[in-house]
Amino acid sequence: MSDELTLAIDGSQPLSIKTVKDLTVLCDEVEDSGGAVTLRVTGAPGPGWADGLDVSLVSKWERVLRRLERLPAMIVAVAAGDCGGTALDAFLTADIRIATRSSRLLLPFDGEATWPGMAAFRLTRLAGAARARRAVLFGHPIQAPEALMLGIADELTETPDAAEAAAVQRGEGLSGKELALRRQLLFDAATSSFEDALGPHLAACDRALRRGAEEAA
């Protein structure tokens, strides 16, 4: 893999066009040059965090997040402390999710309901509806040990820099394109029948066999 690209996202700051642009630039760099991606996320929104938001900006953010989680690169996210808003959104898109032991994952709550963004979708896809219910319906914080148990976090650490470096090292030598293909097969498995999934999996197997034959030639 090429050099690591890093982006810090502060969830205590309101969503802005700058946040969208920063992530867009990162996606552009990965698609142009390759490389692993590290997201360093922290912070959760305070009262009034949604003031000034509109659906157009939210849509742009959700679209760039979708682009992020389809990149031909390994994505590592490291959460420290409370993690909500844009920080939680980004954290949930990663292939490898690391959290400090004091981390809490928080869906924004305005006193009447939680924010109905795609973080609720990703939480439910990762943990299941029953286990994500309290967080999605009532804004119940997900403590780091619970996140690990539910598979939302892959690792808890007291040394996030070292854990991040180890995670990136594990991905050295992986093909970004092949990783993206496996990721898509993983996503599709949650909603596809065996019959619908068989074709894409066979195509991927054929691709792998052809690549192996070319390397052996």
Tens-digit pLDDT profile for residues 141-180 = 999 999 999 999 999 999 999 999 999 888 888 888 889 9
Mean confidence (pLDDT) of the chain: 93
Residue 58 token pair: 């939210």
Lowest-pLDDT choice from 4-13, 45-54, 63-72, 195-204: 45-54
Q: Are residues 42 and 12 in the same domain?
A: yes
Q: What is the pTM of this model?
A: 0.92
| pLDDT at 93 (0 to 100) | 97
Q: Per-residue DSSP letters for 117-139? A: SHHHHHHHHHH-HHHHHHHHHH-
Is residue 84 located within the same domain as residue 186? no
Residue 14 shares a structural domain with residue 71? yes
Do 121 and 189 fall into the same domain? no
* Mean predicted confidence (pLDDT) in 125-131: 93
| 101 and 36 in a common domain | yes
Across-strand partners of 84? 106
How many structural domains comprise the chain?
A: 2
Q: Do 194 and 96 sit in the same domain of this protein?
A: no
On the question of pLDDT at 16 being above 60, the answer is: yes
One-letter amino acid for residue 166 of the chain: A
Q: How confident is the model at residue 122, as a pLDDT?
A: 95
| For range 33-47, the mean pLDDT | 92
> Are 21 and 90 contained in the same domain?
yes
Angle between helix 176-189 and 194-216 (nearest 10): 160
125 with 78, same domain: the answer is: yes
Q: Is the dihedral of CA 181, 186, 187, 190 positive or negative?
A: positive
Model confidence at 56: pLDDT above 60: yes
What domain range includes position 89? 5-170
Q: Tell me, what CATH number does 107's domain have? A: 3.90.226.10
Is the confidence at residue 119, as pLDDT, over 60?
yes
Do 13 and 93 share a domain, yes or no?
yes
Pairing of strands 96-100, 75-84: parallel
Query: How distant, in Å, are the alpha carbons of 28, 63, 64, 181 from that of 21?
Result: 10, 12, 9, 26
Look at residue 1 in the predicted model and tell me its pLDDT.
42
**Which CB contacts under 8 angstroms, 24+ apart, belong to 144-147?**
144/99, 144/100, 144/101, 144/102, 144/103, 144/104, 145/101, 147/99, 147/103, 147/105
Residues 124, 209, single domain; the answer is no
Domain boundary residue, one of 154, 170, 186: 170
E strand residue ranges, 69-214: 75-84, 96-100, 104-106, 142-143, 155-157
Contact residues for 63 (Cβ-Cβ < 8 A; gap 6+): none
Query: Are 130 and 206 in a shared domain?
Result: no
* Whether residue 142 sits in one domain with residue 106: yes
Which letter does DSSP use for residue 159 in this model?
A: -
